[in-house]
Amino acid sequence: MKKIRKRLILLSFLATIVVGIWSLVDSEDAPPPYRTATVTRGTIAELVTANGTLNPIELANVGTQVSGKVEKIYVQVNDEVKKGQLLAEIDPSLLLQTVKQSKASLDTARLSYEQAERDLKRTRTLVAKDYVPKVDLERAEQGYASAKNGYESAKFALEREEVNLSYTKSPRRSTG
């Protein structure tokens, strides 16, 4: 019984091999299907459709030091720009008014400073001659120091406003 079983397995294996070889030989006789066309000249166009997100290689945040109405724009979307290139101008009219106001404040502070300086000199002379009490000298010194600080503060305010005005047009180079 074992011998018969082994022979049947061997025969079925051989039969499978014979059928496989016969199907391969039979398919080689049939010619493969070909598509033919006449040769023409032209451009080859290939369309690729894809979904996804494009990210730039380098991303730059653009901002301003001062705010205001944009008066002129010198670039368009997707234009290539260089570092330090002027992109837009901000309307300077409000900042010009602020600069004028700061100049007027500086002039007023300068006049107060000069007056306080004259008062201090005069009070020192009067105290030296014992015409006024020393407390008047202390008040004159306090007034002089206050006027000097006011003058210095007005100078710094004017400088700041002039820098802000320059930000409306001039491209600023980063120090980084």
Spans of all domains in the chain: 70-166
The predicted pLDDT at position 150 comes to: 96
List, for residues 71-93, the tens digit of each pLDDT value.
Answer: 888 888 878 888 888 888 888 88
List, for residues 126-151, the tens digit of each pLDDT value.
Answer: 999 999 999 999 999 999 999 999 99
In the predicted model, what is the mean pLDDT of residues 39-68?
80
Could you tell me which residue, 153 or 80, shows the higher pLDDT? 153
CA-based torsion, 11, 13, 15, 17: positive or negative: negative
Could you tell me which residue, 36 or 22, shows the higher pLDDT? 36
Range name among 17-21, 143-147, 151-155, 162-166 with the lowest pLDDT average: 17-21
Query: How many residues are present in the chain?
Result: 176
With a pLDDT cut of 90, the percent of the chain lying above it is 38
The predicted pLDDT at position 174 comes to: 43
The angle that helices 93-128 and 134-166 make with each other, rounded to 10 degrees, is: 160
List, for residues 102-111, the tens digit of each pLDDT value.
Answer: 999 999 999 9
CA dihedral 131, 133, 134, 139 (to 10 degrees): -110
The predicted pLDDT at position 25 comes to: 65
- Mapping DSSP onto H, E and C, the string for 105-124 reads HHHHHHHHHHHHHHHHHHHH
The predicted pLDDT at position 176 comes to: 37
